[in-house]
């Protein structure tokens, strides 16, 4: 099991993580600009592949384009349906240099799209054109991607248990996390004080779970689960597996990746975390679980 779930200590790849975060935001911003906007911003997310991460096929004139991170060959590939391709090596280079190469590659393919060069959902963002940081450890990125595709498989199994409205399992480049979200089918109370992205993301009642490399008060890779709006009693509920806890700072349940790796069956432990946090949210908020779940999942 440990071969399938490699170690991912945040301190050892924190700067690489930041670099990759900026690069994925560039690809994601192109997808945001070129694809029809779907509910809860699902059109903006990237997908896990057998080689890395990719956009969906994006319409551009009479062509379609994809932008894919290949973490085996360590290149970013931009492909057009007419057969043209441009590649950018994934090597140590500043965010500013990568952005210049990225824009040049798009232009060479006649993809002239306007994107905002400022990263989002980050404290103290630096414009792509001015960002001189650029550490990149390909081995660390491969370990991260290996974790992503293992988590992707488990969360897709969890998703298949639900017949109500549910997001794909997808990677959000803004928050840099792989997530799946279930919906009760009921609108949530309006959040007029929030920005337009947050208002749309949480326009309906949700129970969400996912994985990210860690940040802020969580100093390492972890799984999370939350309910929005959070029902009374959620924070003090008992969930599994052993080691999972509620973070008052984040208002989420947290299950550290290292605790999952140490479990006798890491995959079963992750499924238990996803299932018990969902059941807690759904029961406390009185979701119609009989109508929303496959009979075998109850």
User: In a 3-state reduction of DSSP, which class is residue 172?
Assistant: strand
| Residue 3 clears pLDDT 80, i.e. is over it | no
The pair of structure tokens assigned to 247 is 């973070």
State the DSSP string of 210-245.
EEE--BTTB-S-EEEEEEESPPTTSTT---SSTT-E
Over residues 45-63, the pLDDT tens digits come to: 999 999 999 999 999 999 9
Find out whether 212 and 178 touch, Cβ atoms under 8 Å: yes
Per-residue model confidence (pLDDT) at position 257:
98
What is the model's pTM?
Answer: 0.95
* Percentage of the chain lying above the pLDDT 90 cut: 92
Q: Which residue would you say has higher pLDDT here, 22 or 3?
A: 22
The ranges assigned to domains in the chain are 10-130, 141-297
| Confidence bin at 193 (pLDDT 50/70/90) | confident
| Residue 291 clears pLDDT 60, i.e. is over it | yes
The average pLDDT across 118-139 equals 96
Per-residue model confidence (pLDDT) at position 127:
98
**What is the distance between the alpha carbons of residues 254 and 69, in angstroms, rounded to a whole number?**
28
Per-residue model confidence (pLDDT) at position 1:
45
Per-residue model confidence (pLDDT) at position 4:
85
Give the contacts of 209 (CB within 8 A, at least 6 positions apart).
155, 158, 179, 180, 223, 224, 225, 273, 274, 277, 278
Per-residue model confidence (pLDDT) at position 197:
82
Q: How many helices (H) and strands (E) does the chain have?
A: 7, 12
| Residue 195 clears pLDDT 90, i.e. is over it | no
Over residues 216-263, the pLDDT tens digits come to: 899 999 999 999 999 999 999 999 999 999 999 999 999 999 999 999
**What is the distance between the alpha carbons of residues 208 and 78, in angstroms, rounded to a whole number?**
31
Mean pLDDT, rounded, of the chain: 96
């Amino acid at each position: 099991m440990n071969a399938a779930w490699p170690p991912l200590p945040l301190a050892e790849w924190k700067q690489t993580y930041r670099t990759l975060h900026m690069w994925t935001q560039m690809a994601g911003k192109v997808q945001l600009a070129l694809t029809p906007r779907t509910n809860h911003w699902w059109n903006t997310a990237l997908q896990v592949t057998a080689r890395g991460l990719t956009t969906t096929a994006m319409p551009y004139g009479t062509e379609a384009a994809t932008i894919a991170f290949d973490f085996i060959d360590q290149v970013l590939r931009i492909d057009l349906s007419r057969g043209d391709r441009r590649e950018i090596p994934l090597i140590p280079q500043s965010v500013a240099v990568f952005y210049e190469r990225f824009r040049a590659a798009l232009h060479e393919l006649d993809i002239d799209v306007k994107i905002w060069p400022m990263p989002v959902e980050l404290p103290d963002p630096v414009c792509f054109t001015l960002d001189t940081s650029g550490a990149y450890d390909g081995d660390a990125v491969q370990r991260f991607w290996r974790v992503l595709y293992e988590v992707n498989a488990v969360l897709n199994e969890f998703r298949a248990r639900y017949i109500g409205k549910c997001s794909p399992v997808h990677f959000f480049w803004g928050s840099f996390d792989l997530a799946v979200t279930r919906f009760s089918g009921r609108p949530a109370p309006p959040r007029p004080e929030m920005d337009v992205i947050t208002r749309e993301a949480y326009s309906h009642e949700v129970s969400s779970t996912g994985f990210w490399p860690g940040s802020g008060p969580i100093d390492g890779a972890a799984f999370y689960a939350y309910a929005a709006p959070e029902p009374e009693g959620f924070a003090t509920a008992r969930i599994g597996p052993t080691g999972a806890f509620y973070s008052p700072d984040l208002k989420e349940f947290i299950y550290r990746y290292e605790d999952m790796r140490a479990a006798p069956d890491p995959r079963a432990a992750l499924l238990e975390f996803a299932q018990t946090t969902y059941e807690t949210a759904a029961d406390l908020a009185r979701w119609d679980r009989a109508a929303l779940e496959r009979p075998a999942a109850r």
